A and B are shown apart, each in its own frame.
Chain A
Amino acid sequence: MSAPARPPEGGASQSPERAQPANRTHPLPQEGGRGDGSSTPARPPEGGASQSPERAQPANRTHPLSQEGGRGEGPRMTILSVQNLSRRFGGLTAVDDVSLAVSPGTVHAVIGPNGAGKTTLLNLMCGIYTPSSGSIWLDDHDLSGAPHYAFARLGLGRTFQTPQIFNNMSALENVMVGRYMHEQRGLFLGLAEALLRLPTLRAAERRSREEAAELMRVVGLERYLDAEADALPYGALKRLEIARALALKPKLLLLDEPAAGLNHSEAVEIEQLIGQLVERGMTVVLVEHNMRLVMEVSDAILVLDHGRRLAEGPPQMVREDPRVIEAYLGKEAAEDARSAVAV
């Protein structure tokens, strides 16, 4: 086995992926792995897979997924997994023991009332905040405590609730910044190349410009190809951020309220854009208040309330969950809804 820090807790150990190169196997016990609250590495793997030699290594981190009961989907790959994640700010626990496993090619929504901890969860999942406890895995990299830019370099793109636009450059240059790590040549070689504007750099710049322009077309911003970033309307800024995140060529996109502040037709365009991205195999974690959009595009929904997991499942299930209705509408409304169902 070549992956040194890979935890052996292979719930997927009997799957065909086992035979493939090490980096294909995911560290996490999958949905079927029943959390028994124990964190001892010696817990026998489900399915009785062979005891791998790594099992004995103390360095291995294992976190049985705390979710009760699998949904019987059997083992599958996970691109991003978050285990027992908590984050405290002083006395406030903004995210409280949340676990999440995101499968490739799916849209995983995170919803919840304002202040539920959705943005904090995204900030933990991309390294802006370091977890108070718990861990974050991207593919088979343990990124708990890694800096924000390291997540980006491993293929995690993200957009922000309040767009983080570079107002001191053009819209196109904003997207070109997203190509940074594909252009990066190391601090010294990169500096020499940049200062002297060597032909290699000129060619790379031309390519970057073309690719960035293409991405602006993908998100529907072709009108603004020559505009300065600070001249764009709010709705366009949201899409500019998506274009910049796509320029990373990410495996996974975290979108924080991409439709917030948009009118109906703009929100529909964002929905279509997310649909297109998923069709091309993108994985998305979506925080959004626009329920129509969430129900339309999501494969799974995690509901947070006061930092804790309230419910999780496919859209229809979450929509009808009385606890979710209660969190959103208050107790009385929830009771009304229940009695209405009873009648």
Chain B
Amino acid sequence: MSHYRSSRHHGLIALAAIIALLPLVLSNKYFYDVAILIGFNAIVCIGLNLLIGYAGQISLGHAGFFGLGAYASAILTGNYGWPPVIAALAGMAGVGSLAFLAGRPILKLKGHYLAMATLGLGIIISLVIVNQDRLTGGPDGITVGPFSVLGFALENERAWYWFIGGLLLLTVWLSQNLIDSPMGRALRALHSSEVGAQAAGINAAAHKLQIFVLSATFAAGAGSLAAHYSGFITPAKAGFIHSVELVTMVVLGGMASIYGAVVGAAVLTLLPQILTVLKDYEMVVLGAVMMATMIFLPRGLVPSLAALCERWRDLLPPSLVLRLEALIGRGRKP
């Protein structure tokens, strides 16, 4: 297990290094913009993967929570003059409460039925946003003021980049801590065998609800910040398509993998940008890439590639492996 813990720190250090070094190649505003988008998506996907990948409960309505967080910030700062941080926290608390109330009946359902119910919840949220146009601006959307923390405003891409980078690291750290705790084991246990988990005294319903609320709160927080960052929010951000995009990122990156969520968010945010050169064929190629990934790496990018590395490692001469491991500072328990 010390192996697990040390590899956990290595992962965090590697992610921090990537975040720190990336600005060397981010040569213009557009690149920064893409990197920041990846950060937002990664934060939502980590939360969603806690629910889907670890606890085994699907949500097809997570964009609804993201959208509610975004609109809460827009309305509370714009109409009521609340400080952005307070508005974001209030939005998270409100969305958490909503997830708690809605989750109690919904999470009794399993599999496809749970998917349908969360889908319905997401659709209701986006309809309410569209229809409450006096408050939300309706289908046209609403402008959102800049974000500031303790009087320090995030004015340019660079500032946002470091802020979101730090927040992403924090999210990864918190989530990994959770997974490797009694509570995280309870979640993984009820995913694998709900009967077995209950036999160990685990109240499965309470834990499902708890992780649903936590996951919705992550999405709401990311939504608040994303609204401030882009300065504009439309109901599409709360809609079904966005929900599906988020789930796709989680599945492509790898279920039950924190870094899988980050990688999935990065790949599916980047690919469409890169594929724009293909014009009309963009979506076809994107779909083909996703299908190929799931066929050849069925557990998702990170878990499948990690398994491949393990296998290759066994094929290499042990002396070379030892030297390589010494190089990257990682030992494996015998």
In whole angstroms, what is the CA distance A168 to B334 when docked? 21
In whole angstroms, what is the CA distance A187 to B210 when docked? 8
Q: Which chain B residue has the least Cβ–Cβ distance from A123?
A: B195
B184 touches A191 (CB 8 A): no
Most buried by B among A148, A165, A209: A148
Q: Which of A66-74, A85-93, A170-178, A267-275 contacts B (4 or more CB under 8 A)?
A: A170-178
Cross-interface CB contact of B177 among A147, A180, A197, cutoff 8 Å: A197
Residues B80-115 near A (CB distance < 8 A): none
Inter-chain contacts of A187 with B (CB < 8 A): 206, 210
Kindly state whether residue B315 has any CB partner on chain A within 8 Å.
no
Kindly state whether residue A205 has any CB partner on chain B within 8 Å.
yes
Kindly state whether residue A108 has any CB partner on chain B within 8 Å.
no
Kindly state whether residue B186 has any CB partner on chain A within 8 Å.
yes
B200 touches A178 (CB 8 A): yes
Contact code string B204-224 (vs A, CB < 8 Å = 1, else 0): 101000100010000000000
In whole angstroms, what is the CA distance A172 to B4 when docked? 13
Contact code string B1-33 (vs A, CB < 8 Å = 1, else 0): 100000000000000000000000000000000
A180 touches B185 (CB 8 A): yes
Kindly state whether residue B174 has any CB partner on chain A within 8 Å.
yes
Cross-interface CB contact of A126 among B181, B199, B203, cutoff 8 Å: B199
Inter-chain contacts of B180 with A (CB < 8 A): 197, 205
Q: Which chain A residue has the least Cβ–Cβ distance from B56?
A: A168
In whole angstroms, what is the CA distance A195 to B122 when docked? 27
Inter-chain contacts of B174 with A (CB < 8 A): 195-196
In whole angstroms, what is the CA distance A166 to B178 when docked? 18
Kindly state whether residue A320 has any CB partner on chain B within 8 Å.
no
In whole angstroms, what is the CA distance A172 to B198 when docked? 18
B186 touches A194 (CB 8 A): no
Kindly state whether residue A181 has any CB partner on chain B within 8 Å.
yes
What band does the interface of chain B fall in when counting residues whose beta carbon is under 8 Å from A? 20 to 34
A226 touches B198 (CB 8 A): no
Most buried by A among B178, B180, B183: B183
Inter-chain contacts of A184 with B (CB < 8 A): 182, 201
Residues A112-154 near B (CB distance < 8 A): 126-128, 147-149, 152-153
Kindly state whether residue B202 has any CB partner on chain A within 8 Å.
yes
Q: Which chain A residue has the least Cβ–Cβ distance from B207?
A: A187
A149 touches B185 (CB 8 A): no
Kindly state whether residue B193 has any CB partner on chain A within 8 Å.
yes
Cross-interface CB contact of B200 among A170, A193, A248, cutoff 8 Å: A248
B177 touches A166 (CB 8 A): no
A149 touches B202 (CB 8 A): yes
Inter-chain contacts of A244 with B (CB < 8 A): 196, 200
In whole angstroms, what is the CA distance A169 to B188 when docked? 8
Kindly state whether residue A101 has any CB partner on chain B within 8 Å.
no
In whole angstroms, what is the CA distance A247 to B211 when docked? 25
Kindly state whether residue A11 has any CB partner on chain B within 8 Å.
no
In whole angstroms, what is the CA distance A19 to B296 when docked? 71
In whole angstroms, what is the CA distance A196 to B193 when docked? 27
In whole angstroms, what is the CA distance A95 to B243 when docked? 47
B198 touches A177 (CB 8 A): no
A166 touches B199 (CB 8 A): no
Cross-interface CB contact of A165 among B182, B196, B256, cutoff 8 Å: B196
A176 touches B196 (CB 8 A): no
In whole angstroms, what is the CA distance A210 to B225 when docked? 43
Q: Which chain B residue has the least Cβ–Cβ distance from A158?
A: B199
Kindly state whether residue B228 has any CB partner on chain A within 8 Å.
no
In whole angstroms, what is the CA distance A197 to B181 when docked? 8
Chain B nearest CB from A327 CB (Å) reads 29
A157 touches B199 (CB 8 A): yes
Kindly state whether residue B148 has any CB partner on chain A within 8 Å.
no
* A166-B188, A168-B192 as given contacts; A152 in contact with B198, CB under 8 Å: yes
Chain A nearest CB from B307 CB (Å) reads 12
Inter-chain contacts of A149 with B (CB < 8 A): 198-204
Kindly state whether residue B121 has any CB partner on chain A within 8 Å.
no
Chain B nearest CB from A266 CB (Å) reads 21
Most buried by A among B181, B204, B334: B181
Inter-chain contacts of A147 with B (CB < 8 A): 198, 203
Kindly state whether residue A160 has any CB partner on chain B within 8 Å.
yes
Inter-chain contacts of A169 with B (CB < 8 A): 185, 188-189, 192
Chain A nearest CB from B20 CB (Å) reads 23
Inter-chain contacts of B200 with A (CB < 8 A): 149, 152, 177-178, 180-181, 244, 247-248
Q: Which chain B residue has the least Cβ–Cβ distance from A184?
A: B182
Chain B nearest CB from A77 CB (Å) reads 24
Kindly state whether residue A329 has any CB partner on chain B within 8 Å.
no
Kindly state whether residue A282 has any CB partner on chain B within 8 Å.
no
Kindly state whether residue A190 has any CB partner on chain B within 8 Å.
yes
A-B residue pairs, 4 tightest by C-beta: A164-B196, A194-B181, A152-B201, A181-B201
**Can you report 28 residue pairs joining A to B where beta carbons are below 8 Å apart?**
A128-B195, A149-B198, A149-B201, A149-B204, A152-B199, A152-B200, A158-B199, A160-B195, A164-B193, A165-B196, A166-B188, A166-B192, A169-B189, A172-B1, A176-B182, A177-B197, A180-B201, A184-B201, A190-B182, A191-B183, A193-B181, A194-B177, A194-B178, A195-B178, A196-B174, A205-B181, A205-B182, A247-B200
Apart from A176-B185, A196-B174, what 4 extra A-B contacts exist at CB < 8 Å?
A: A179-B182, A190-B183, A194-B177, A248-B200
Binding site for A on B (CB under 8 A): 1, 174, 177-178, 180-186, 188-189, 191-193, 195-204, 206, 210, 214, 256, 333-334
Binding site for B on A (CB under 8 A): 126-128, 147-149, 152-153, 157-158, 160, 164-170, 172-173, 176-181, 183-184, 187, 190-191, 193-197, 201, 204-205, 208-209, 226, 244-245, 247-248
